[in-house]
Structure 1
Amino acid sequence: MLATHIYFLVALTRIASSVNIQPSTFTAPGTFPTSVFSKYYNNPTATSAQPQPVVSDPATHEIYPLALTDPNTIPINNTVDPHPLPPAASSAKIFEAAIAQLKSISESPIFSGDTCGRCQAILEVAKFVSLSTPSNGPAFFIQFCNTFKLSSNCNVAYGQFSGIGSVLTQVVANADVGGYDGQALCQNFFSMCPAPPTLPLDLSSWFSKPKPNPLPAPTKCSGNRLNVLHLSDLHLDPRYLTGAEANCTSGLCCRKNNTNTQSPNIVLSPAPRYGAYRCDTPLSLALAALQAIPALTGTKDNGFAWTIYTGDLVSHDPDNQLSRDYVEYTETIVFDLFKKMLGSGPVYAALGNHDSYNQAQDAPHSLGGALAQQFSWNYDHVAGLWKHENWLPQAAVALARAHYAAYMVKRVDGLRIITLNTDMWYRANYFNYLNMTNPDNSGMLRFLTDELEDAEDAGDKVWIIGHVLTGWDGTNPLKNPTNLFYQIVDRFSPHVVANIFFGHTHEDQINIFYSNNATTMSADTAGAVSWVRYSTFFLKCLFSELYIQMGPSITPLTNLNSGFRVYEVDSATFEIMDAHTWRSDVNTFSSLDSQTAVGPTYGYEYNTRETYGSSISGWGVDDPLNATWWHRVTEAMEADSSLVTTFNTLQGKSSVRTKPCTGDCITAKICYMRSGSVPIAMQNCKQGFGSVQS
């Protein structure tokens, strides 16, 4: 017991000296900080409505009109910038494709299942329509939807302007619908086929050279720590209507157009001005969080060494309420707020699945022509904003414009930041269902591998930043790309890749990577082979296998508290030495409506090392929180399920709505923590316990 107390005392001393935590809580002012913007469309200090700033886009030089974000006039059918349809095919092209698909159908083993065979046969007809008369493609999919009752409003879901009919027309026109692509489409979007298998990888020519053996001499810990901020999933809702229904029956709540069907004419739960559990982030909550960060972390004067943002700026609107202007508005205002509120350090941001229009859609360059460039408006826009904020050098800006908004930055301290557009492995991106037998049909993982090889040659460390995680319970990404990503991480760990960060789930989670595709999960395989050769505590800071950190979200959606995290990072190894998480209790927000004295309070939730460290013997305060450490945490969880209970509570940022984790949930959570790819998660873990949201 005495040793434990001494451990905590030393740990808390390290916390205070490194992160310079100020008060344990920060309460935002009760009135909106009007100086943040120069002009407003309404009175920003009124408590009855959210502020509506006049936003000027430095990249497009456009001033966004009030009608774009007015919660009382939400547009429901954007016809200004639909996705282009593929060009009509020649008769020769139609014949060639028909013969190829006929052959594919005749050889496919899928037709032993009638429902699946029916779906793929329908896609064959859809392919013919999409090639011969693409203007009728969306109408065909509307009829397909009505026939099989795939949506309550097929015109909206599959129309050209308000839905994804034009996207499906593009995809089916180019997909092998009689083979793997078609089976995956029918499984993921129409629930008419079983999931296709994970395909074997041929890595014989993927890497230009084998992994070094022995590995390069390890970098020693410097003992100097950098403070790095991790933000994720802000999901700003500029159409948030204070006083609207906060407990709506379906869709995004706190909106004028979404009610509770039990009482459609009376608001049962009025939306507080700072947010609610079934709603995205109102501007008032976003500002409260950004005011709290420097006050709580002691970074008012110097800012952070850098900030990582792991995606999702835009609110959870249905496609028919979205537009390019709405996405660009959100990107503009959020990045501008980061620049104003977080200090001088650069922000390295990755796009989330909601940071696109249509949401979750991004097309691979392999489509060719104009179709390959149909999302370049977004890549150009965010690259222009990152240049305007002076976060990226020109080379990274150019790379982001040309490569799905993904880029590499080489910092002067020897760390390289590589960001990825993870829509390229996200299940909801229809374009990923083209040429699925290629695990990298977008070239994103080729880009990552080439950058890692350059870093290896230069002796640099790398942080990888993306949005959609590759593993956990395996429900979000696709099998084949994440299988390849896992092998890439293994090839370049631990001597190149220092850390990986994702967002997307809104929850506080981690994933551990193991060598040899996790054939053996142990403390030894979670640490590089070279690590076990050393015996001193100091050298624990030299080598480790990787784990992935999923950052907590600012948005409360769904039934979560709002939070952010700061890492203590060693300045030489770029290992995480400690992590500190703050959160605000959304359950208290309704009590703030009738006064203007105070706003939300953000308070210190937990310290990672302190919370789990007492369970790990022989791990000192100067040893990193690497994958070996996390694997030992999971072993401690197997011996003491109360640690999983703690993890489950923190996963939802201590929300009062987080349900307890018992029985099968205990073993499932440990399994998810050890699963860095979809195949590993699906093969090893019991499903149904991945999220604490309800």
Structure 2
Amino acid sequence: MKLLHLASGFLSVLFLVFAEKGVLAGEGWFLHVTDFHWDYTYGTQDWSCNDEVTNHGLFGDYWCDSPWNLITSAVEAMKNATEGRDADFVLWTGDNVLHVSDDKVNIDIHDQILGNLTNLLRTHFPTTPVYATYGNHDYYPHNQFPPHNNELYNRTLEQWKSWINDTEQESNFRKGGYYTVKSVSGLRILALNTNLYYTSDKVTAGIPDPADQFRWMEHVLNNSLANNEKVIVTAHVPPGMAPPLGTRWMYEDFHQKLNSILYRYNEIIVGLHFGHEHNDNFRVFYDDKDKPVLALFMAPSVTPWRFKIPGVTGKAHNPGFRMIKYDQTTGRHLDLVQYYMDLPESNRLQTPVWKIGYTATSDMSIADITPDSMDAFIKRMADPDGEDFRKFYRWRFTTVDHPSVGTCDRSCHAVIHCNFIHSSKMKYDQCVNRLTSTGAPSSITLWNIYPMLAPIFLSLIL
């Protein structure tokens, strides 16, 4: 391990570079970044901050969304991470607008935020395609993505069309903000707008197939199956439960339809990469014989923002992004390297300090990050007091050292463990009840008593 001092604009960057194994022929890398949430009022009006900030750090605060210094540092760190192992592409899974009420912003501000971030990524990755998707906060008004053409879809397409680079996909994007492309290595990228299925989107409630995305998705996957293509699915809002509240991210009928399609084509889907949860998380999908068939990864956010609602306050977490190593021929996911900014140290030194939090194969002691390997790691984390789970719990909050994280008791472990293995609400609840049935839950909150309130408050936060 060596420490490099890299000049970058008006900022210098401290970057921990770890010796990596050489990339073999046929092996490639891609980046995944999500949830920038740029607060352009940080340090002045602090619109996104969930508590009073008395000392505004240069790179942000755990109560607030990202200042521009943090965002530029993250993209510079992404570029630095690719030195010696060029990325084939970048996945950017949305949520770029700050957490703020709609009366403080408008469609022009949303468009400008998206434009600034698009230009930043294009400047740092001029020859690398970026496959971008919307987050639920990127629409105005937030969460209310429509299942038809609108001004924001049209504006965004003009900014992203050179990355999509396929005129045949423009009608799909104008219709519903989704598209598909083939990567340089031959992988099919399926870029979805799952915000259409989010429980906070009241525009699409009750519509059988918003923007015909399900029908289109099946058509693309059926063609990929016929043409022997391997597929990466990427989007913002993931299927499954919303920790720690235990409510669904998606309307139940949409959730079931999406999962049904994913299961049907699991033999050609080599990766599922999402954002939205802000914490490091993953899920494994099992077939009816309990064989692991899909692994879904949720990358931690760039924003360090902590949510705060009655009875529940989010834990502190550091900014992060990740690189994934994969087999360019088969698409098999070989490894995952998670990077994070040490936010307190960066603010103290007045220069960004990015480190590697973990490398999956070595730190999880697994062969790769395929469904079988992730299932094996889940089984080793079954003990809430075991070393494997303690390590993951620290990684979950992007290797933060903060009193809010604390320890994870039995009920805390049950929520996380059941989230790994169940995307069905019924099975998730049964799993949590089984793991906590030996005694009363260790943590009682408003949400244990009034679970029906959780979706209402979710619409105000993530």
Whether TM exceeds 0.5 here: the answer is: yes
Contact 1:562 1:586 in 2 (8 A): yes
Q: Pick from 393, 405, 418: which aligns with 2:190?
A: 418
* Deviation, structure 1 residue 442: 4.1
Contact 2:11 2:351 in 1 (8 A): no
Gaps of at least 5 residues in structure 1 are 1-21, 34-221, 246-250, 261-267, 366-372, 527-544, 593-597
Residue of structure 1 in register with 2:444 after alignment? none
Give the letter for the 1:499 counterpart.
G
Are residues 588 and 426 of structure 1, via their aligned partners in 2, closer, same or farther at CA, if it must alter by over 3 Å? Answer: same
Are residues 426 and 24 of structure 1, via their aligned partners in 2, closer, same or farther at CA, if it must alter by over 3 Å? Answer: farther
Residue of structure 1 in register with 2:326 after alignment? 569
SS of corresponding position for 1:430: coil
Structure 2 matches for 1:201-220, cutoff 5 A?
A: none
Structure 2 matches for 1:593-608, cutoff 5 A?
A: 598-608=350-360
* Deviation, structure 1 residue 590: 3.9
Residue of structure 2 in register with 1:272 after alignment? 57
Are residues 399 and 433 of structure 1, via their aligned partners in 2, closer, same or farther at CA, if it must alter by over 3 Å? Answer: closer
Identity over the aligned pairs, expressed in percent? Answer: 24
User: How far apart, CA to CA, are the structure 1 residues paired with 2:116 and 2:252?
Assistant: 35
User: How far apart, CA to CA, are the structure 2 residues paired with 1:606 and 1:24?
Assistant: 17
Are residues 25 and 274 of structure 1, via their aligned partners in 2, closer, same or farther at CA, if it must alter by over 3 Å? Answer: same
* Deviation, structure 1 residue 396: 2.4
Structure 2 matches for 1:620-659, cutoff 5 A?
A: 621=367, 624-639=368-383, 641-657=386-402, 658-659=405-406
Q: Pick from 333, 340, 348: which aligns with 1:591?
A: 348
Give the letter for the 1:359 counterpart.
H
Residue of structure 1 in register with 2:410 after alignment? 663
User: How far apart, CA to CA, are the structure 1 residues paired with 2:72 and 2:218?
Assistant: 38
Structure 1 position 513 matched with structure 2 position 285:
yes
* Deviation, structure 1 residue 285: 1.0
Contact 1:567 1:577 in 2 (8 A): yes
Once the two structures are superposed, residues 578-617 of structure 1 have per-residue CA deviations (whole angstroms, 9 ceiling, x without a partner) of 110111122234424xxxxx5111111110111111xx5x
User: How far apart, CA to CA, are the structure 2 residues paired with 1:334 and 1:602?
Assistant: 20
Gaps of at least 5 residues in structure 2 are 13-23, 307-315, 434-446, 449-453
Residue of structure 2 in register with 1:550 after alignment? 298
SS of corresponding position for 1:328: helix
Contact 2:230 2:269 in 1 (8 A): yes
* Deviation, structure 1 residue 668: 2.6
Residue of structure 2 in register with 1:294 after alignment? 79
Residue of structure 1 in register with 2:10 after alignment? 31
Are residues 663 and 27 of structure 1, via their aligned partners in 2, closer, same or farther at CA, if it must alter by over 3 Å? Answer: farther
Give the letter for the 1:649 counterpart.
R
Contact 1:672 1:685 in 2 (8 A): no
User: How far apart, CA to CA, are the structure 2 residues paired with 1:577 and 1:24?
Assistant: 26
Structure 1 position 674 matched with structure 2 position 426:
no
Contact 2:37 2:303 in 1 (8 A): yes
Matched pairs, number = 412
Once the two structures are superposed, residues 114-161 of structure 1 have per-residue CA deviations (whole angstroms, 9 ceiling, x without a partner) of xxxxxxxxxxxxxxxxxxxxxxxxxxxxxxxxxxxxxxxxxxxxxxxx
Once the two structures are superposed, residues 157-181 of structure 1 have per-residue CA deviations (whole angstroms, 9 ceiling, x without a partner) of xxxxxxxxxxxxxxxxxxxxxxxxx
SS of corresponding position for 2:381: helix
Are residues 441 and 582 of structure 1, via their aligned partners in 2, closer, same or farther at CA, if it must alter by over 3 Å? Answer: closer
Whichever of the two has the greater Rg, that structure is 1
User: How far apart, CA to CA, are the structure 1 residues paired with 2:25 and 2:251?
Assistant: 40
Are residues 237 and 653 of structure 1, via their aligned partners in 2, closer, same or farther at CA, if it must alter by over 3 Å? Answer: same
Once the two structures are superposed, residues 267-305 of structure 1 have per-residue CA deviations (whole angstroms, 9 ceiling, x without a partner) of x61222211101111111111112222223315xx8410
SS of corresponding position for 1:288: helix
Q: Pick from 357, 360, 372: which aligns with 2:143?
A: 360
Contact 1:466 1:502 in 2 (8 A): yes
SS of corresponding position for 1:305: strand
TM-score w.r.t. structure 1 length?
A: 0.56
Are residues 433 and 26 of structure 1, via their aligned partners in 2, closer, same or farther at CA, if it must alter by over 3 Å? Answer: farther
Contact 1:252 1:316 in 2 (8 A): yes
Contact 1:275 1:589 in 2 (8 A): no
Residue of structure 1 in register with 2:170 after alignment? 397
* Deviation, structure 1 residue 394: 2.0
User: How far apart, CA to CA, are the structure 2 residues paired with 1:28 and 1:241?
Assistant: 25
Structure 1 position 282 matched with structure 2 position 72:
no
User: How far apart, CA to CA, are the structure 2 residues paired with 1:685 and 1:452?
Assistant: 34
SS of corresponding position for 2:339: strand
Q: Pick from 230, 236, 253: which aligns with 2:32?
A: 230
Structure 1 position 684 matched with structure 2 position 453:
no
Give the letter for the 2:254 counterpart.
P
User: How far apart, CA to CA, are the structure 1 residues paired with 2:414 and 2:4?
Assistant: 34
User: How far apart, CA to CA, are the structure 2 residues paired with 1:603 and 1:259?
Assistant: 27
User: How far apart, CA to CA, are the structure 2 residues paired with 1:26 and 1:582?
Assistant: 17
Structure 2 matches for 1:250-265, cutoff 5 A?
A: 252-253=48-49, 260=52
- Deviating above 4 A after TM superposition, structure 1's stretches of 4 or more consecutive aligned residues are 22-30
User: What CA RMSD, in Å, does the superposition of the two structures yield over aligned residues?
Assistant: 2.7
User: How far apart, CA to CA, are the structure 1 residues paired with 2:251 and 2:369?
Assistant: 28
Are residues 664 and 24 of structure 1, via their aligned partners in 2, closer, same or farther at CA, if it must alter by over 3 Å? Answer: farther
User: How far apart, CA to CA, are the structure 2 residues paired with 1:679 and 1:449?
Assistant: 26
Once the two structures are superposed, residues 636-679 of structure 1 have per-residue CA deviations (whole angstroms, 9 ceiling, x without a partner) of 11256321221111011011232321212223322111123445
SS of corresponding position for 2:203: helix
Contact 1:478 1:678 in 2 (8 A): no
Structure 2 matches for 1:61-100, cutoff 5 A?
A: none
TM-score w.r.t. structure 2 length?
A: 0.82
SS of corresponding position for 2:323: strand
Structure 1 position 241 matched with structure 2 position 241:
no
* Deviation, structure 1 residue 683: 4.5
Q: Pick from 151, 173, 180: which aligns with 1:408?
A: 180
